[in-house]
Amino acid sequence: MSRFFSRRFDTLAAYTPGEQPQDQNYIKLNTNESPFEPSPAVLEAVSNAEVAKLRLYSDPECKLTVKAIADYYGVDSKNVVLGNGSDEILSFIFQAFCDKDTPVAYPDISYGFYSVFAQLYGLESQVIPLSDDYSLNVEDYCGINKTVVIANPNAPTGMAISLSNIEKILVSNPDNIVVIDEAYVDFGADSAVSLVGKYDNLIVVQTFSKSRQLAGARLGFAIASEEIITDLNTVRFSTNPYNINRLTLLAGEAAIKDKIYFETTRNQIIANREYTVAELKKRGFRVLDSKTNFLFAAHCTAGGEALYKALKADGILVRYFNKPRLSDFLRITVGTREQMDALLASLDKILSGKDDNDA
Out of 93, 136, 155, 223, which residue is the one contacting ligand PLP (CB under 6 A)? Answer: 155
Q: Please classify residue 42 by burial: count the beta carbons closer than 10 Å to its beta carbon, then call 0-12 exposed, 13-18 middle and 19+ buried.
A: buried
Strand partners, 147: 104
Q: Residue number with the shortest CB distance to ligand PLP? A: 85
Residue 183 in the binding site for ligand PLP (CB under 6 A): yes
Q: Give the number of residues in contact with ligand PLP, rule: CB under 6 A.
A: 12
Contacts of 353 (CB under 8 A, 6+ apart): none
Residue 231 in the binding site for ligand PLP (CB under 6 A): no
Beta carbons of 226 and 79 less than 8 angstroms apart: yes
Tally of CB atoms within 10 A around 210: 27
Residue 85 in the binding site for ligand PLP (CB under 6 A): yes
Task: Name the one range near ligand PLP by CB under 6 A: 55-63, 81-89, 115-123, 317-325.
Answer: 81-89
Out of 28, 62, 87, 165, which residue is the one contacting ligand PLP (CB under 6 A)? Answer: 87
Beta carbons of 349 and 342 less than 8 angstroms apart: no
Strand partners, 207: 220
Residue 314 in the binding site for ligand PLP (CB under 6 A): no
Out of 106, 111, 221, 296, which residue is the one contacting ligand PLP (CB under 6 A)? Answer: 111
Tally of CB atoms within 10 A around 188: 18
85 vs 188, beta carbon nearer ligand PLP: 85
Helix (H, G, I), strand (E, B) or coil at 131: coil
Task: Name the one range near ligand PLP by CB under 6 A: 44-52, 84-92, 121-129, 308-316.
Answer: 84-92
Q: How far is the CB of 208 from ligand PLP (least distance, A)?
A: 7
- In single-letter form, the type of residue at position 56 comes to L
Residues of this chain that bind ligand PLP (CB under 6 A): 85-87, 111, 151, 155, 181, 183, 207, 209, 215, 220
